[in-house]
């Protein structure tokens, strides 16, 4: 199988970790990195870390493709220039969906209006993000993919602030992005839906 840039970067991170632990020297790091960045297939990458411990959850001595999201490697969706830090709907509507980058902190406010936030095709500026959702006599719907971690801690006062998870998917790995959703629903509703991630065009459905 052909190696991607993400595959090479993941192996490079294993090597940097080995250097910090004293398992390899600086000269060995430079030599192995030269091999990594010149590699064209996964087979060429495997020997580079064959004598090093791999992250928990990966098969011994076997490099997995980036799409498998092996435990211990950073999630490919983390990183990028942050998108809008707010979504506001006052007697109107606001939508954030498609390919966009969630900033570390995003504020959503709906007053006699509605806000829709969809993260199924989003990237994340950092591993941990917070969405503060405040709805007053309005509604905020937030859709999160079932392969990220979500923590819903908002308060409903004469309203509802809830998570609806009917995906049946297991918890996401620790390396996946984590989104904390907090705030207030006053005579209103803030609903977080956990659903399967939208696939990019041309990507096969699992």
pLDDT one-digit tens code per residue, 7-64: 888 888 888 888 888 889 988 998 999 999 898 888 888 888 888 876 544 443 334 4
Residues 90 and 115 sit within 8 Å (Cβ to Cβ): no
Residue listed under structure tokens 């509605």:
114
Please check the confidence at residue 204 and state whether its pLDDT lies above 60.
no
Residues 99, 157 within the same domain:
yes
Question: How many Å apart are CA 163 and CA 161, to the nearest integer?
Answer: 7
Tell me if 80 is assigned to some domain. no
- The strand pairing partners of 157, in sequence order, are 186
Residues 139, 41 within the same domain:
no
Domain boundary among 39, 67, 95: 67
Which tokens belong to 102? 């969630």
Question: How many Å apart are CA 112 and CA 137, to the nearest integer?
Answer: 5
User: Mean pLDDT across the stretch 72-97?
Assistant: 85
Please check the confidence at residue 146 and state whether its pLDDT lies above 70.
yes
Residue 206's pLDDT is 34
Which residue range is the domain that position 14 belongs to? 5-67
Which tokens belong to 121? 């095709």
Please check the confidence at residue 193 and state whether its pLDDT lies above 90.
yes
Residue closest to 63 by CA, chosen among 78, 77, 50: 50
């Amino acid at each position: 199988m052909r190696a991607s840039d993400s595959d090479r970067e993941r192996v490079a991170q294993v090597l940097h970790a080995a250097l910090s632990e004293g398992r390899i020297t600086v000269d060995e790091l430079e030599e192995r990195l030269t091999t990594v960045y010149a590699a064209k297939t996964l087979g060429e990458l495997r020997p580079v870390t064959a004598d090093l411990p791999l992250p928990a959850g990966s098969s011994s001595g076997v490099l997995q493709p980036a799409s498998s999201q092996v435990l211990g490697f950073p999630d490919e969706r983390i990183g990028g220039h942050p998108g809008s830090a707010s979504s506001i709907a006052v007697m109107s509507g606001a939508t954030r969906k498609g390919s966009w980058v969630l900033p570390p902190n995003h504020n959503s406010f709906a007053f006699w209006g509605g806000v829709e936030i969809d993260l199924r095709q989003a990237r994340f500026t950092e591993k941990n993000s917070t969405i503060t959702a405040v709805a007053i006599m309005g509604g905020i719907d937030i859709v999160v993919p079932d392969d990220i971690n979500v923590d819903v801690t908002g308060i409903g006062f004469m309203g509802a602030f809830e998570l609806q998870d009917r995906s049946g998917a297991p918890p996401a790995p620790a390396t996946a992005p984590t989104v904390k959703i907090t705030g207030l629903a006053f005579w209103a509703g803030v609903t977080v839906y956990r659903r399967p991630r939208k696939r990019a065009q041309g990507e096969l459905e699992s």
